[in-house]
A and B are shown apart, each in its own frame.
Chain A
């Protein structure tokens, strides 16, 4: 009987210990700002995945668009060479791999404005109002910078929340132990019937 109490406490120790520590796999997150894609890669323990290999693919054709490595903070950013759906694959040492996607429409919204609207509108503005040096495009740039500065903490918060969601929950841990005991319990049941 004593032995069962000890084994129970060993299991409890292993269950409760991860509450203060954490798990092991990598996660990568991407967001777009000013037409540049920023990625952040972490080990699920919260450590930064430095010097991890980053590969960017076109989701449609599966063609490798560009490669790179993360810096000491696990960051990597790049200017997408084409406006398509991107698949970002990060490979860290010891066979860890994570995938994230960036949709074409997230890239498009910004680059379209820059490419299409600016030529005509700025042309009209500059010819009619000679005295004002501030063009619509300047304002657009200013607003964009302000907005992205304001949004930055929000992005960081979202990434933190996503990170927390990726972590194993207590329910999953207990559930897993339950499954193991259950599966072997069924095995024991049939063994006992036969024996």
Chain B
């Protein structure tokens, strides 16, 4: 999912950077004191998740966990993923500094969408609704990110449909694994610390 330096054109890089700046400003406004520890933990989880390589399917893919970050953090996903992606670019050379804005948008924006779509499912306070929220969060998070990547690559002359197909098919195993992880973590949080997922028992 990390787009490397030197592939996208300047207008796309610039608009990605602008959108990310906007999202980050909005996110920092939503970042309350009590939310800082969970932001740090989800940011670290995202940072390390990209190192978990899933050796299935046609391409080489890794976990993303943007759905999990999104459903818990909402707009704060932007600053959380921005820090993690910056460190991934600097330390591991994943993606790059010029594509930092685009990559952050690609993965954080689906997280915010997930927050608004699946957030209400958590409020139902039923285990199976929370499981469903986890599955949907992972599915939307990963596939929307894939669609964003395919859209941007379409501007470089690669056809949108074939790239989108490739991204989505390659990420099917990732979606399955992430759906399981997200559902388990959300259910655990619901039992142990419901306020983290915005539910009061």
Complex Cα–Cα for A87 and B59 (A): 25
Complex Cα–Cα for A195 and B91 (A): 34
Q: Which residues of chain A are near B6, meaning CB under 8 Å? A: 89, 97, 99
Task: Tell which of B17-25, B49-57, B120-128, B136-144 binds the partner.
Answer: B49-57
Q: Which residues of chain B are near A172, meaning CB under 8 Å? A: 91-92
Q: Nearest residue in A to B5 (C-beta to C-beta)?
A: A97
Task: Tell which of A6-14, A110-118, A122-130, A137-145 binds the partner.
Answer: A6-14
Q: Can you list, as one digit per residue, whether each of A1-42 has a CB less than 8 Å from chain B (1) or not (0)? A: 011001100110011011001111100000000000000000
Q: A11-B44, A97-B6 are in contact. Are A184 and B39 (CB under 8 A)?
A: yes
Q: Which residues of chain B are near A147, meaning CB under 8 Å? A: none
Q: How far does the Cβ of A192 sit from chain B's closest Cβ, in whole Å?
A: 6
Q: Which residues of chain A are near B5, meaning CB under 8 Å? A: 97
Q: Which residues of chain A are near B112, meaning CB under 8 Å? A: none
Residue A66 at the chain B interface, CB threshold 8 Å:
no
CB–CB B60/A179 < 8 A: no
Q: Can you list, as one digit per residue, whether each of A158-178 has a CB less than 8 Å from chain B (1) or not (0)? A: 000000001010001101110
CB–CB A10/B52 < 8 A: no
CB–CB A10/B93 < 8 A: no
CB–CB B33/A188 < 8 A: yes
CB–CB B59/A187 < 8 A: no
Q: Can you list, as one digit per residue, whether each of B78-119 has a CB less than 8 Å from chain A (1) or not (0)? A: 000001100110011110000000000000000000000000
Residue A181 at the chain B interface, CB threshold 8 Å:
yes
CB–CB B83/A183 < 8 A: yes
Interchain CB contact (< 8 A) of B84 among A49, A94, A180, A187:
A180
Q: Which residues of chain A are near B88, meaning CB under 8 Å? A: 176
Q: Which residues of chain B are near A181, meaning CB under 8 Å? A: 40, 44
Complex Cα–Cα for A93 and B158 (A): 10
Residue A119 at the chain B interface, CB threshold 8 Å:
no
CB–CB A22/B53 < 8 A: yes
Q: Nearest residue in B to A97 (C-beta to C-beta)?
A: B4
CB–CB B185/A177 < 8 A: no
Which chain B residues in 9-36 approach chain A with CB under 8 Å?
Answer: 31-33, 36
Q: How far does the Cβ of B124 sit from chain A's closest Cβ, in whole Å?
A: 22
Interface residues of B, count at CB 8 A: 51
Interchain CB contact (< 8 A) of A94 among B48, B50, B149:
B149
Q: A23-B94, A97-B4 are in contact. Are A3 and B39 (CB under 8 A)?
A: no
Q: A95-B2, A188-B36 are in contact. Are A3 and B52 (CB under 8 A)?
A: no
Interchain CB contact (< 8 A) of A18 among B7, B51, B60, B94:
B51
CB–CB A14/B52 < 8 A: yes
Q: A17-B52, A22-B51, A23-B62 are in contact. Are A6 and B91 (CB under 8 A)?
A: no
Interface set of B (CB-CB < 8 Å, partner A):
1-8, 31-33, 36-37, 39-41, 43-45, 47-53, 55, 59-62, 83-84, 87-88, 91-94, 149, 152-153, 163, 166-167, 170, 185, 188, 192-193, 196
List 20 contacting pairs A-B, 8 Å CB cutoff, sorted by A: A7-B41, A10-B45, A18-B51, A23-B62, A25-B94, A47-B55, A47-B60, A94-B170, A95-B4, A95-B152, A97-B5, A176-B44, A176-B87, A176-B88, A180-B43, A184-B37, A184-B40, A188-B33, A188-B37, A191-B31
The 9 A-B residue pairs whose C-beta atoms are closest, nearest first, are A95-B3, A18-B51, A97-B4, A43-B60, A14-B48, A184-B40, A188-B36, A45-B53, A176-B87
